Structure 1
Amino acid sequence: MRLSRTSPPADHARVDLRPARPDELPLLPAIERASGEPFRDFGMPEITDDDPMPLSTLEHLHVWVAADPHPVAWVAVEVVDGAAHVEQISVHPDHARRGIGAALLDHVEHWAAARGLEALTLTTFRDIPWNGPYYRRLGFTEVAELSPGLRDVVAAEAARGLDPATRVCLRRALHRGVRAGY
């Protein structure tokens, strides 16, 4: 596991970052559900109770897992307007705060560099501490003007009931030193 930009606690888990195997895809919704539980305590039970990403969608995305030895976290990505767009990243609460999410994002960054992409993008809740502020600490900045593909992402989220006023689109340019050795 490559360490993230922010130093994880010294007891961070040693996990294997790798592409998800087809037989692991059915395990990922449970991780997504568990990672959504903190929204309930934040007064957003509708987010906690929202259906996880369907397997039929996961099958068409680039998906990586952090396994110990079974998946404990995952990230799903698609290419949107020349960037690796993070559709979903979920870390099981039992493995949270160990740098695993940041390591998954760094892993995606290497993948994106190997494909000549220019950045990572994602949409998230603007003010939830483990969303917008967390990603800003990892080097993401707010997108001032949305590209056509990102406008489509935001519109699809709004159609699913997510209030665009509570959301933010973030971008992290690929770092020049990232090896494209994929």
Structure 2
Amino acid sequence: MFSIRKAVPSDAAILPTIEHSAAQTFRGHPELGWIADDDVQSEQDHLNYIAQEMEWVAVNNNDQPVAFINIERLQESLHICEVSVCQSWQGKGVGRRLIQQVVEFALLEGVRSVTLTTFREIAWNAPYYQRLGFSIVEASELTTDLASILQQEVNAGFNVEQRCAMRLNIIR
């Protein structure tokens, strides 16, 4: 069993470890194995999201974080910056529930969509988000914010053809 709550400063130290654990899933992918050893968000990054009240954690029965999601406000959406689930908790609906938490927050805030960027072909990326109701945003439909985020990812070493932006429109 798990529950979702707002992240608090004492959670920040463990969250990079969770992201590193989640990234291990890429180790078996021939082109993307390097992600398993790449940098993750720092403890300070998490403290910044927490201070802005833009991060939630999934916790086990002992109130220990096992997953997190953090977001930022863009001009037209709430944007998921990172969602990571510890490997031992993957496949249990934790990521789906964290995304649902962001959608509920967007509704409360009067925001009409939730966005993210991800890999097009990786099963636990774009195909997974499509099952949750997200759609790929075509290049001609990208907002300035989403185009900028994708460009930053390309500048960081991601292959432009492998990445996409996705949007979930929230119906009121």
Q: Normalising to structure 2: TM-score of the pair?
A: 0.91
Counterparts of 1:56 and 1:151, CA distance in 2? 26
Percent sequence identity over aligned pairs: 33
Instruction: Give the paired residue count.
Output: 163
Taking the aligned partners of 1:50 and 1:80, their CA distance within structure 2 comes to 26
Q: Indicate which of 105, 126, 131 corresponds to 1:137.
A: 131
Residue of structure 2 in register with 1:15 after alignment: 2
Residues 99-156 of structure 1 deviation map (CA, whole Å, 9 limit, x = unaligned): 1100000001111111111111000010000111100111000112110111111111
User: Would the aligned equivalents of 1:81 and 1:148 in 2 still touch at CA under 8 Å?
Assistant: no
- Tell me if structure 2 keeps the 8 A contact 1:29–1:53: yes
**TM-score by structure 1 length?**
0.86
Q: Which amino acid aligns with 1:66?
A: A
CA distance in 1, matches of 2:82, 2:59: 17
Tell me: higher relative CO, structure 1 or 2? Use CA pairs within 8 A at least 6 residues apart: 1
Matching residue's letter, 1:138: L
Q: In the alignment, is residue 49 of structure 1 matched against residue 37 of structure 2? A: yes
Determine the C-alpha separation between the residues in 1 that align with 2:13 and 2:151. 27
Report the equivalent of 2:169: 173
**In angstroms, what is the RMSD of aligned CA positions?**
1.1
Q: Of residues 130, 145, 150 in structure 2, which corresponds to 1:154? A: 150
| Residue 164 (1) aligns with residue 155 (2) | no
**Selected match of 1:98 from 57, 77, 92:** 92
1:56 Cα deviation after fit: 2.8
Distance 2:77 2:160 in 1: 21
The answer to which structure has the higher helix fraction is 2
Q: Which residue of the partner structure matches residue 112 of structure 2?
A: 118
Q: Give 3-state SS (helix, strand or coil) of 1:26's partner.
A: coil
Structure 2: which 5+ residue stretches go unaligned?
none
CA contact (8 A) 1:25 1:55 kept: yes
* Secondary structure at the counterpart of residue 110 of structure 2: coil
Q: 1:35 aligns with which of 15, 19, 22?
A: 22
1:69-104 deviations in whole A, cap 9, x for unaligned?
Answer: 200010010011221100000011111111110000
State how far apart, in whole Å, the 2-side matches of 1:149 and 1:57 are: 20
Q: Secondary structure at the match of 2:107?
A: helix
